[in-house]
Amino acid sequence: MCDSKTLNEKFSIPGLIEFVENAQGALVARVETPQGTMEVARQGAQLLFWTPKDQAPVVWMSPLAQFKRGKSLRGGSPVCWPWFGPHPENNSLPGHGFARNLEWRVLETSRLKDAARITMIFEPGEEQQKDWPHQAELTLSITMGEALEMVLTTRNQGETAFTITQALHTYFHVGDIARVRVEGLEGKEYIDKVAEEACHLQKGPVTIDSEVDRIYLDCPGDLVIVDDALKRRIHIARQGSNSAVVWNPWAEKGAAFGDMGDDGYRNMLCVETTNAAKDTVTLNPGESFTQVSRYMVESF
């Protein structure tokens, strides 16, 4: 078990990256550059916050989120892996896989030109292999400069092929959910998880006025969150992803979570870079696959 002192001795970069225990005792990396600040938890390699210079936070974290070993955090950017949503065969297994609930190891940190990067690594152990009997290595590199980029790579280190679904399940901070739209999904087919998985075609930009839980298909292009309240656009560039999820639980379900608050849904919107539904990834022994999500903010 690493503590902050050990991690700082190996991986801190003075004035750039420091490892600390937060107010709840969770071990996190705090990163600060002239372009902004971010925080990454060792649990799940989860991006918790990202605030570019002179901007409101871009990544939303519930003020009621609780750091508990083996439990997911409400907000940030959880890593859903090696399956997205419920397990396809066993509903008793944790939704969205186990990678987001367990501790990762810090692999390296680096100072780049006008940016900082932290890379973490996760390898399923014996306990996880009871439910998912494969050998794999998962790395996540998060680079913060003027933009924020997350690079998630899966490597098959075993002797048999396996298939995964996955997501970078990012919660974006918005000024007012009633004044937000998502562009780039016009005309795309989606599976409506709220309406018994019926399939529909998206007409115009996506707007939110009730619970929304949709998997958009055959949509490899970039997306944009237009936030009229905060007068900004969040550009989402994706690679290795041919599907996307848009999610907001709305009032009743959000309040029932217990860690979102009664009004948390008003200031968050998940637009997720995914391999979900029919957008699956099969890796043969020795193969790797990389999914990338890159965020940039533009004021208007």
So which residues are the catalytic ones? 169, 272
All residues at 6 or more sequence positions from 94 whose CB lies less than 8 Å from its CB, including other chains:
87, 101
Pull the structure tokens for residue 54: 């002179």
Tokens 């018994």, residue located: 196
Written as six digits, the tokens of 189 are: 């087919």
Q: Any bridge partners for residue 120, and if so which?
A: 106, 140
Query: How remote is the C-alpha of 23 from its chain's centroid?
Result: 22
Residues 6+ apart with CB under 8 A from 291: 151, 152, 153, 166, 168, 238, 239, 240, 241, 273, 275
Residue 48 tokens read as 């918790």
Among candidates 180, 194, 176, which has minimal Cα distance to 245? 194
The SS3 call for residue 300 is coil
Choose among 188, 178, 284, 163: nearest CA to 244.
Answer: 188
Residue 289 to residues 47, 76, 137, 300, Cα–Cα distance (Å): 21, 23, 11, 36
